Structure 1
Amino acid sequence: MKRLLRSFGFAFKGIRYAFDTQPNFRIHLVAGAVAIALGFVLQISAEEWLWVILSIAAVLSAELLNTAIETLTDLVSPTYNTKAGHVKDVSAGAVVVVAVFALLAGVIIFVPKIISLF
């Protein structure tokens, strides 16, 4: 049990590192909080909540993986290297793909509800 709790400590340490060092991670956290607040205000359905939560988790997970890949790339290639640059670019591209998915899910869920208010 002690080992399990320690592993959670390391995981939260990693999340804290991303929060402290990655502006995009903080931006995604704010966007997720806005989506949650909108969900409560607009009273979205349980199914819609699942999509919102999945989108938030996917974006934050992608950002954490991107941070890990970039940190490791910097470790193994401290000077500029074209292939290391490609690794970092592809990793960042994965975040963009997930973020666009989340944005589209948000538009599909929230825009009709916002329009119906007017």
Structure 2
Amino acid sequence: MKRFKYPIHGFITIIKKDKNYLLHLLTAIVVISAGILFGISKIEWLVIILLIALVLSFEAINTAVEYVVDLVTDEYKPLAKRAKDTAALSVLVISIAAGIIGLIIFIPYIFK
């Protein structure tokens, strides 16, 4: 059980400090609710769960990169900005992919 202490602390920290993570978490709750409402298939659930896990993980990694960069330097440095921007890009890419896949899954249910 000791090993779960650190991820739980990380979750509490990110919920308190990162509004983007909270937004992704709320979006996940909406998507899960829609999945229940529409009765999506087992395969669709697998895809949705994987995408939610990826988006939340990428956002957590992005936040960790930001913390490390801020730990290394307090002053503006172009290389630090590039590290943060690149980490943020990874979240954007997976979020766009998740959104597109979500539309592909849910639009047929909406129009039924």
Cα displacement (A) at 1:64: 0.4
- Partner Cα distance (1:111, 1:43) in 2: 13
* 1:98 pairs with 2:63: no
In structure 1, list runs of 5 or more residues that go unmatched: none
In the alignment, is residue 48 of structure 1 matched against residue 44 of structure 2? yes
Matched, 1:66 2:39: no
How far did residue 57 of structure 1 move?
0.3
The answer for the alignment partner of 1:10 in structure 2 is 6
RMSD: 0.6
Structure 2 segments unaligned to the other structure (5+ residues): none
Could you list the per-position Cα deviations for residues 23-78 of structure 1 after superposition, in whole angstroms to 9, with x for gaps in the alignment? 00000000000000000000000000001101100000000000000000000011
Sequence identity percentage: 38
Q: Calculate the TM-score normalised by the size of structure 2.
A: 0.98
Secondary structure of the residue aligned to 1:44 is coil
TM-score relative to the length of structure 1: 0.93
Aligned length: 112
* Correspondent of 1:20 among 16, 38, 41: 16
